């Protein structure tokens, strides 16, 4: 039984702001549940914070690089303290979109045609027809993702992202976006995203003010729903995930085939986040979800 919980928030990634918003919701839930909560704005001195406070368990509320790409998980394993969400290897795989794509393709998932290129060589590897997608190899929350519809948008993307190294240049798959939650190796449910923008970008995910439609259950038939949820559970297991995950799919409008886009090992916990919304639809209240995630914590993940 855990009592003293260290909640990691903030961090050093481009998703710092989202982590802060997420962790406020988590902290309130943990307090309501009766836990002693120590909030730590996580930095490279994390081991010192652990030694000072001696928590029973760590709730990882970080997002993005360092926080969910295996680096923090290494520190937590070295300190031998139970922690939430996925472990080192699965976190690394999920954050690295190129490596996870290789695994998905190897295991017979449909995946968009994709080239891994340096930011400076995009012109050589861009798709001959617009639109296409450019996304960073290692980011979450759709940070740095751009849909390129013309030459001008490509130039603008290159100017705005000149500090990036490797990116994925990916064919655009037109269709319905379906997200599936997996909690504890169980298919929990699905939600359809109908964004105000052409795709579900960073702004739509976190600063949307209700303009993006979240549709539960998704507008697909029973067989399709079972198929996409089976695929999400399969992806969760292939990457070796622990705790919860959220997997994004597109149901391509012409072929009616599901294309996997990516898997997130640390889904957001904001008021507009998808996993809490799916859980609530299935009868799991937010505090119950947070408590389950905490009780699932462990080491050697």
Confidence band, pLDDT 50/70/90 cuts, at residue 166? confident
- Taking the model in full, what pTM does it have? 0.91
Kindly report the CA angle at 96 between 91 and 100, in degrees rounded to 5?
85
Q: Look at residue 23 in the predicted model and tell me its pLDDT.
A: 95
The 3-state DSSP composition of the chain as helix, strand, coil percent (nearest 5) reads 35, 25, 40
Give the pLDDT band (50/70/90) at residue 158: confident
Query: How far is residue 176 from each of residues 141, 186, 257, 271, 287, measured CA to CA in Å?
Result: 18, 23, 11, 23, 30
- Looking at domain 114-171, what is its CATH homologous superfamily? ATP-grasp fold, A domain (3.30.1490.20)
Burial degree of 240 (CB within 10 A; 0-12, 13-18, 19+): middle
User: Do residues 161 and 143 make contact, with C-beta atoms less than 8 angstroms apart?
Assistant: no
- Within 10 A of 151 (CB to CB), how many other CB atoms are there? 11
d(CA 122, CA 166): 10
User: What stretch(es) of the chain map to CATH 3.30.1490.20?
Assistant: 114-171
DSSP state of 297: -
Three-state DSSP class for residue 176? strand
Class of domain 4-85: alpha beta
Instruction: Tell me how many degrees the CA angle 290-83-145 measures, rounded to the nearest 5.
Output: 75
Nearest to 203 by CA among 273, 141, 147: 141
Cα–Cα separations (whole angstroms), residue 137 to 64, 69, 258: 12, 12, 22
Q: Model confidence at 121, in pLDDT bands (50, 70, 90)?
A: confident
Using pLDDT thresholds of 50, 70 and 90, give the confidence band for residue 142: low
Give the pair of three-digit tokens for residue 85: 């969400």
Residues of the chain with CATH 3.30.470.20: 93-110+173-291
CATH 3.40.50.20 in the chain is located at 4-85
What pLDDT is stored for residue 163 in this prediction?
A: 78
Contact 59, 293 (CB under 8 A): yes
Mean pLDDT, the chain, whole residue set: 91
The three-class DSSP label of residue 47 is: helix
pLDDT tens-place string over residues 180-220? 999 999 999 999 999 866 554 445 454 455 578 999 999 99
Residue in the structure block whose two tokens are 């994390």: 46
Q: At what angle do helices 97-106 and 88-95 cross, to 10 degrees?
A: 100
Residue 226: HSE in the Cβ half-sphere, 13 Å Cα cutoff: 3
Question: Left (φ > 0), alpha (ψ -120 to 50) or beta: where does 177 sit?
Answer: beta
Strand stretches in 35-131, DSSP E: 36-41, 57-60, 114-118
Please name the fold of domain 93-110+173-291.
D-amino Acid Aminotransferase; Chain A, domain 1 (3.30.470)
């Amino acid at each position: 039984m855990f009592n003293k919980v260290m909640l990691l928030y903030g961090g050093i990634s481009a998703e710092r702001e989202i982590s802060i918003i997420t962790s406020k919701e988590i902290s309130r839930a943990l307090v309501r549940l009766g836990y002693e909560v120590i909030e730590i704005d996580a930095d490279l001195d994390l081991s010192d914070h652990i030694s000072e406070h001696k928590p029973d368990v760590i709730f990882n509320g970080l997002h993005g690089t360092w926080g969910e790409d295996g680096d923090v998980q290494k520190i937590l394993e070295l300190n031998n303290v139970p922690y939430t969400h996925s472990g080192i290897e699965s976190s690394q795989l999920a954050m690295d979109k190129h490596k996870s794509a290789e695994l998905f393709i190897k295991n017979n998932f449909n995946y968009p045609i994709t080239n891994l290129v340096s930011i400076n060589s995009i012109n050589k590897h861009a798709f001959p027809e617009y639109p296409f997608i450019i996304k960073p190899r290692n980011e979450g929350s759709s940070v740095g993702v751009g849909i390129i519809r013309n030459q001008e948008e490509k130039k603008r993307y290159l100017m705005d992202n000149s500090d990036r190294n490797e990116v994925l240049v990916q064919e655009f798959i037109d269709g319905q976006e379906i997200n599936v939650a997996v909690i504890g190796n169980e298919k929990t449910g699905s939600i359809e995203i109908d964004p105000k923008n052409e795709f579900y970008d960073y702004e739509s995910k976190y600063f949307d003010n209700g303009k993006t439609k979240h549709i539960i259950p998704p507008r697909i038939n029973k067989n399709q729903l079972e198929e996409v949820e089976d695929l999400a559970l399969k992806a969760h297991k292939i990457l070796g995930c622990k705790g919860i995950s959220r997997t994004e799919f597109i149901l391509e409008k012409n072929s009616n085939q599901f294309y996997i886009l990516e898997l997130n090992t640390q889904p957001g916990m904001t008021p507009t986040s998808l996993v809490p919304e799916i859980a609530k639809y299935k009868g799991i209240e937010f505090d119950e979800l947070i408590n389950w995630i905490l009780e699932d914590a462990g080491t050697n993940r």
